[in-house]
Amino acid sequence: MSRYQLNYLDQLESEAIHIMREVAGQFERPALLFSGGKDSITLVHLALKAFRPGKFPFPLVHIDTGHNFQEALDYRDAMAERIGEKLIVRYVADTIKAKNLTEQKGKFASRNALQTYTLLDTIEEFKFDACIGGARRDEEKARAKERIFSVRDEFGQWNPKLQRPELWNTYNGRIDKGENVRVFPISNWTELDIWNYIRKEKIELPSIYFSHEREVLEYEGQLVAVSEFVQLEETDKISKKTVRYRTVGDMTCTAAVESTASNIDDIITEIIATKTSERGETRIDDKVSEAAMEDRKKNGYF
């Protein structure tokens, strides 16, 4: 290999940094959507590489559903503190109260859909014109069609038929007042790329990504953590299992996987061997219908 060749992870990293700097150069009031999951943690790491020794040209924004894993919240606060960047948190519970929204009912009542309201309100409150998110195209069919700069109208809606053609590495972020752009710097990364990058860069993650003992409820083949947000019934099968999380979302709609992988090497070995996709294995919210993600994106989900 010539000394002037870049490894694939370095190529992906450089592309993501380029995209983030385009956001900094093109927008007045951008934000980085941070959830405490591995993908947004990777985004923060990339932002450090893109802008240090300067400050981030955007705050970190977390839309807190109130159903988060405590480990992810602790990580979030510690990280914002450590890197000395501004963190804005807005709560779905507040939106529900202020707007008289109706919460989902049932066993795994999720606030995933309501999250969109809080996100759109937050965008309006701070007049954000660009929101950087950690979505990847390999996650889901509807995301495979997403541009890197994805324009949303004033209702936050995504219209797959009216996407701008995106050529070369030239990103067109021009918009009208009220519109905003969702930007996805790690569009071209797969789940395995993320893990390999986390290993290479020695990025710290919340503990729930690694194997631990947890009380779980078995439901249609998936393991859901027992928590105050899940309604238990007498017939429920509850047991203590050694599990870890492949994705980190709400406690009500993210399932754990049985695993003894306690370090990154073991996790990577496990992912290479797995036969199920990340969302298929761990996201209850995508299974509702064949086009669940497409519909949520059209309504302003990120």
Partner 1 sequence: MDILRFITAGSVDDGKSTLIGRLLYDSKSIMIDQLEAIEKQTKNREDGEIDLALLTDGLRAEREQGITIDVAYKYFSTPKRKFIIADAPGHIQYTRNMVTGASNSDLAIILVDARHGVVEQTRRHSIIASLLNIPHVVVAVNKMDLVEYSQEVYNNILIDYAAVAKSLGLKDVSYIPISALNGDNIVDRSTSMDWYEGESLLHILENVALHDDINLTHARFPVQYVIRPQTEALHDYRGYAGKIISGIYKKGDAITVQPSGLSTTISAIEVGGVEVEEAFAPQSAILHLEDDVDISRGDLITLTSNQPIVSNELDVLLCWMDSKPLVVGNKYQLQINSRLVRAVVKEFKYKVNVNSLEQEEVPDKVQLNDIIKATIKTASPIPYDSYQKLRVNGGAILIDETSHVTVGACMIQ
- Residue 253 binding partner 1, by CB under 8 A: no
- Residue 39 binding partner 1, by CB under 8 A: no
- Sole window of 79-87, 114-122, 224-232, 275-283 interacting with partner 1 (rule: CB under 8 A): 275-283
Segment 8-27, which members bind partner 1 (CB under 8 A)?
Answer: 8, 10-15, 17-18, 21-22, 24-25
User: What span, in angstroms and rounded, lies between the C-alpha atoms of 281 and 283?
Assistant: 6
Q: Are 285 and 259 in contact (CB under 8 A)?
A: no
Among candidate residues 160, 124, 188, 96, the one with its CA nearest the CA of residue 299: 160
- Residue 227 binding partner 1, by CB under 8 A: no
Q: Are 181 and 158 in contact (CB under 8 A)?
A: no
Phi and psi of 212, rounded to 5°?
Answer: -160, 165
Q: Are 38 and 68 in contact (CB under 8 A)?
A: no
- Residue 84 binding partner 1, by CB under 8 A: no
User: Which amino acid is present at 155?
Assistant: F
R_g of the chain, CA atoms, integer Å: 19
Contact mark string toward partner 1, 85..124, x via CB under 8 A: ----------------------------------------
- Residue 204 binding partner 1, by CB under 8 A: no
Checking phi first, is residue 100 left (phi over 0); if not, alpha (psi -120 to 50) or beta? left
- The minimum distance between CB 136 and partner 1, in angstroms, equals 9
Strand partners, 62: 89
Q: How many residues bind partner 1 (CB under 8 A)?
A: 61
- Between 92-99 and 115-126, two packed helices, what is the crossing angle to 10 degrees? 90
- Residue 273 binding partner 1, by CB under 8 A: no
> 109, 126, 188, 268: which one contacts partner 1 (CB under 8 A)?
188
**Binding region for partner 1 (CB under 8 A):** 2, 4-8, 10-15, 17-18, 21-22, 24-25, 48-55, 57, 137-138, 141-142, 144-145, 160-161, 163-170, 172, 174-176, 187-188, 190, 192-193, 274-277, 280-281, 290-291, 294
